[in-house]
Amino acid sequence: MDEDRYAKIAEYFIQRIPHVKDMGMQISRLDTGLAVVCVSQQSFMLGNTRHNLINGGVISSLVDTACGMAVCTLINESERIATLDLRIDNLRPAVGDLPLVAEAECYHMTPQIAFVKAVAYQDNRERLIANSMSTFIRKKTGSGSTPA
C-alpha cells in the first residue's frame, strides 16, 4: 500500500537526515512523484535579523529535501539517490514570520537520473520565493538501505 511506503519515506527523512529534524521540517504531502514540505519560522533561520529575512540556505535545504522525497516516492528499496545538481532561482526574500513551503515534482526518470522541478513560497503560491530545477543520480545498492 502506498500510504505505508510514504510513511516509511517520511520517517526515514525525519529520523536519518539531521538537518530535516533540526529545522523542524514537516511533510505536508507525499504522493507518486510529489512532495510538499514546510518549515515554520525559527529565529536561527534568519540570515538578516534587521529585516527579518530567512537565510538562503534554509530555502535551499527545504527545496533539496522536498525534491529528494519526490524522487524517493518513485524508486524501490534497492536504490539510493544523491543530488547531482540543484539550481535555485531566488525570486524574492523569504520573511521570517511566515511558514516556508516547498513543493517538488519528479517529472522524468531515466535508469540513472531523476529530474525534479520545485517551487518555494510562503503565504501565497502565486507569489513565489524561488523556482528550482534539479537532478538526482540513482544507484542500485542491493542492500535495501533506502526508504522507498
Mean pLDDT, residues 55-69: 95
Tell me the C-alpha distance between 54 and 97, whole Å.
9
pLDDT in tens, 10-40: 888 888 888 898 899 999 999 999 999 999 8
Q: Do residues 123 and 98 lie in contact, with contact meaning Cβ atoms separated by under 8 Å?
A: yes
pLDDT in tens, 82-138: 999 999 999 999 998 899 999 999 999 999 999 999 999 999 999 999 999 999 999
Q: Write down all domains in the chain, each with its CATH number in brackets.
A: 2-140 (3.10.129.10)
Q: Do residues 94 and 54 lie in contact, with contact meaning Cβ atoms separated by under 8 Å?
A: yes
Tell me the C-alpha distance between 73 and 31, whole Å.
7
Q: Given a cut of 60, is residue 145 above it in pLDDT?
A: no
pLDDT in tens, 44-60: 778 878 888 898 999 99
Nearest to 52 by CA among 98, 15, 13: 98
CA angle 113, 63, 77 (to 5 degrees): 45
Q: Where are the beta strands (DSSP E) in the chain?
A: 26-31, 34-39, 46-48, 53-54, 79-90, 100-109, 113-121, 128-140
Amino acid at 55: N
